Amino acid sequence: MTLSGKRILLVIGGGIAAYKSLDLIRRLRERGAAVRCVMTAAAQEFVTPLSVGALTADHVFTDLFDRQDEHDVGHIRLSREADLIVVAPATADLMAKLAGGLANDLASTVLLATDKKVLMAPAMNPRMWTHAATRRNRGTLEKDGIAFVGPNSGEMAESGEAGAGRMAEPLEIVAAIETVFDSRPKPLAGKKIIVTSGPTHEPIDPVRYIANRSSGKQGHAIAAALARLGADVRLVSGPVTIPDPLGVKTVHVERAEEMRDAVEQLLPADAAIFVAAVADWRTADSAGQKIKKVAGKGPPALKMVENPDILATVGHHRKRPWLVIGFAAETQNVLKNAEAKLKKKGADLIVANDVGTAGTSSGGVMGGDRNRVKVVSRAGVEEWPELSKDEVADRLAALVASRLATTAV
């Protein structure tokens, strides 16, 4: 119940993404928030006040000149009784109105009359989003202290249209709302941190590849934990089936070489944490066509070559981050290998985990939800108890915050 007791006024604008606002209401109420809605006239063309009211269990406000609601100047009351106003979807029109100070319907009047924080989740066609007028309006609104979540890039509802303009997903909006209310200290604010996560896939031919069992759970949890402490996190993720962590900018790659290039492009950074299980080898040349099984010829011999060592590349880089942390997944001699890795790779810390099947009480570390790690530095070895991957992530994020704090003079 992360939003317990919070009162959220949700302004629904007239865009196709209005249907997602129904889910947003549910997600907010699940977390203990009380949600009230204002709908523009255009919004009611997309979803009905009946559905919205059924989900909020409250009256839905649609009309500035409503005699019942306005006998005590209801629009001012509405704007003040909330703890936060969220506009989702925020149409180009609503953004323009607020940037220009217009107040000619209930939604725009409430937005102008409020003394509360406003969070906008824009949604519109990519051309509308990139239009100079919308860019100008966004700049004005940001200067006025309005917060934004999204938009994301991808396919639009209109067929054949793609680009930036999709409304952030309901859970992303929830995360942005939780961040607004989160008053915990943000020791990593202003710090840029690169995290790699997941496996890499090294192609053999267009349909086959060499992979490993990494799920990305630990790396993604670390990225999310660092973001909760205020860091600007850039996650470079190999192919995984889990969603991108909220509040983190994620780049998706497949192969080790792509991961190395993506990481180098993100430098400089204050810290880098290499959690991904990068394949040590790739095939010398992946076949352009599917390798056919030929009777009597036997299996093909795969010639392997070494992949780039991303940790060592960054550990010895001219733009080396101040803090470099590597993960060492081993099945034997865990500690000895971690100590050797520390020296060879130019890392400050190695987080060693035994990924053998007896790794944790719940079974294997790779793909599982728990982890038991040893943190190896030049100062010695710290052994952490068996923890969930989220707990390991929180502890490591706190460690990163304390290490980076020593750089601030």
Question: Which of 6, 10, 15, 282 touches ligand FMN by CB under 6 A?
Answer: 15
Number of residues that bind ligand FMN (CB under 6 A): 15
Question: Which of 9, 24, 36, 40 touches ligand FMN by CB under 6 A?
Answer: 40
Question: Which of 8, 13, 151, 352 touches ligand FMN by CB under 6 A?
Answer: 13
**CB 44, min distance to ligand FMN, A:** 9
**CB 52, min distance to ligand FMN, A:** 14
308 assigned binding-site residue: yes
116 assigned binding-site residue: no
327 assigned binding-site residue: yes
143 assigned binding-site residue: no
Query: Of the ranges 88-96, 113-121, 261-269, 359-367, which one interacts with ligand FMN (CB under 6 A)?
Result: 88-96
User: By rule CB under 6 A, what string of x and - marks binding of each residue 91-130 to ligand FMN?
Assistant: xxxx----------------------------xx---x--
Cβ–Cβ < 8 Å for 229, 186: yes
345 assigned binding-site residue: yes
Query: Of the ranges 7-15, 173-181, 285-293, 343-351, which one interacts with ligand FMN (CB under 6 A)?
Result: 7-15
Query: With binding defined as CB under 6 A, does residue 14 bind ligand FMN?
Result: yes
Catalytically active residues are 212
Query: With binding defined as CB under 6 A, does residue 150 bind ligand FMN?
Result: no
280 assigned binding-site residue: yes
Of residues 168 and 400, the one with the C-beta less far from ligand FMN? 168
Structure tokens at 90: 């925020």
Binding site for ligand FMN (CB under 6 A): 13-17, 40, 42-43, 91-94, 123-124, 128
| Binding-site sequence positions | 280, 290, 308-311, 327, 341, 345
Binding positions for CTP are: 280, 290, 308-311, 327, 341, 345
